Amino acid sequence: MAGDEYGTVDDGPDYTKRTTILYVVAGIIVVVALWWMFSSMDYVAQAPRSEWAYEMVQLEDANAEGYTGQDVRLAIIDTGIDPDHPSLEDANIVEWLDLVNGRTVPYDDDGHGTAMASIIAGNDPIKGGAEDVDLIIVKVLDDMGESTDSMVADGIMFCLDPNGDGEYSDRADVISMSLGGHMSYIGAIIGTDTKAAVEMAASFGVLMVAAAGNDGESDDGDVASPGWFPDVICVGAVDEDGTIGGFSSRGRNIFKVDPNKKPEVVAPGVGVISAWKNERYVTASGTSQATALVSACLAVMLSAVPELKHTGPSGGTDDVVALVKTKLMETSMPQAEQDTPHDNYYGYGLIQTMDLIDALKAEV
């Protein structure tokens, strides 16, 4: 649809093929490579944002109430950010770390991180759902969109203490991770660097969001890591009609209990328009886009319910993560084709920002 109206550029790369690199340690297979979560994309010559996507998750309604992510610190762990893109020139980047090349000035040599940042915190023409957040940008993915478990873990740890003073008072309120790698049950049991970092972040009341993955019907039967972990909100992707994207990975929920069954929620992730590096725009599909939208929803929620931030009277512990996940389970909207109360593709349903805000306000 966007391509027909605005004109597609046919030199868009094929980002549908990413391979997992596996490591054998003492006979146990663990993940060492992760990648970001696009299923397909096309460049578009010029484009506004996909209004329907923001409306579906009630971000439009929340923004109209004055909730725009103000005074919320949101971290994006990805490929970086192009701060000179017209849609991101006014973004408030408060912290930056490059774990790939060690550069001190924000940049994006891939484009994926720029896309996610525009969905969350962009300005015209790609106006983000939480445009007033304070951004912590951590580059862990290289120009091929690949990273490692240990690097992602280091990225999460940076988000807990950006200034390195050991007090954690400047930590992120939300961490958005539109990335993932395959996780074996053995690897989950013995633990990984990312698992340890996730557990520490949750203990501080940080809300973490990660992509379910784009393996679809041919996947390994489970969502990607770090979305696999119980403390992380894992996100699948639906189209404009609320139908699951054919690429969106399903969860395997043996031994998992509510509200931690995977994925937890879905959000629009099919044909979503975003910024790209070098002043370009794309229309793309993947659980990445859905993850960015859910991250924006949570940032907006925290601007409406600041009591749940780590600086608030009800924040700063893993009780916040449990409460938010419970209310997500209770307020997300079941879709026509999903099983209830939980579906291995749709989770508990489509996230509804205002309904979540109202439910949480009643609890604090």
Residues 179-213: tens digit of each pLDDT: 988 655 545 544 579 999 999 999 999 999 999 99
CA distances from 250 to 178, 181, 265 (A): 16, 14, 12
Tell me which of 204 and 124 has the higher pLDDT.
Answer: 204
Residue 9 has pLDDT above 70, yes or no: no
3-state secondary structure of 282: strand
Structure tokens at 66: 């004055």
> Domain 2-361, CATH 3.40.50.200 — does that match?
yes
The total number of residues written for the chain in this structure: 364
Structure tokens at 295: 């991250």
Distance CA 321, CA 310 (A): 11
Sheet with 8-9: strands ordered across:
8-9, 40-44, 280-285, 272-276
> So what's the pLDDT on residue 14?
37
Of the candidates 326, 329, 346, 328, the one whose C-alpha atom is nearest the C-alpha of residue 337 is 346
Region 311-325: mean pLDDT is: 96
Structure tokens at 178: 């539109």
The mean predicted confidence, pLDDT, of the chain is: 87
> So what's the pLDDT on residue 45?
74
> So what's the pLDDT on residue 145?
84
- pLDDT bin (cut points 50, 70, 90) of residue 3 is very low
**Cβ-proximal residues to 205 (8 Å cutoff; 6+ apart), any chain:** 308, 310, 315, 316, 317, 318, 319, 320, 321
Instruction: Catalogue the active-site residues.
Output: 78, 112, 288
> So what's the pLDDT on residue 137?
99
Asked if 225 contacts 49 with a C-beta cutoff of 8 angstroms, the reply is: no
> So what's the pLDDT on residue 188?
53
CA distances from 7 to 3, 4, 274 (A): 5, 6, 15
What distance lies between CA 216 and its chain's CA centroid? 18
Distance CA 69, CA 343 (A): 30
User: Is the torsion defined by CA of 6, 4, 9, 119 positive or negative?
Assistant: positive
Bridge pairing between strands 146-147 and 34-36: antiparallel
**Cβ-proximal residues to 329 (8 Å cutoff; 6+ apart), any chain:** 258, 259, 264, 341, 348
> So what's the pLDDT on residue 2?
29
Q: Each residue of 37-57: pLDDT tens digit? A: 556 788 887 667 899 999 999
Q: Each residue of 229-284: pLDDT tens digit? A: 999 999 999 999 999 999 999 998 888 899 999 999 999 999 999 999 999 999 99
Structure tokens at 300: 């907006």
Distance CA 121, CA 63 (A): 12
Name the E strands within the chain. Answer: 8-9, 22-25, 28-31, 34-36, 40-44, 73-78, 92-98, 134-139, 146-147, 174-177, 179-180, 207-211, 232-238, 265-268, 272-276, 280-285
Distance CA 110, CA 99 (A): 15
Q: Each residue of 52-92: pLDDT tens digit? A: 999 999 999 999 999 999 999 999 999 999 999 999 999 99
Asked if 252 contacts 179 with a C-beta cutoff of 8 angstroms, the reply is: no
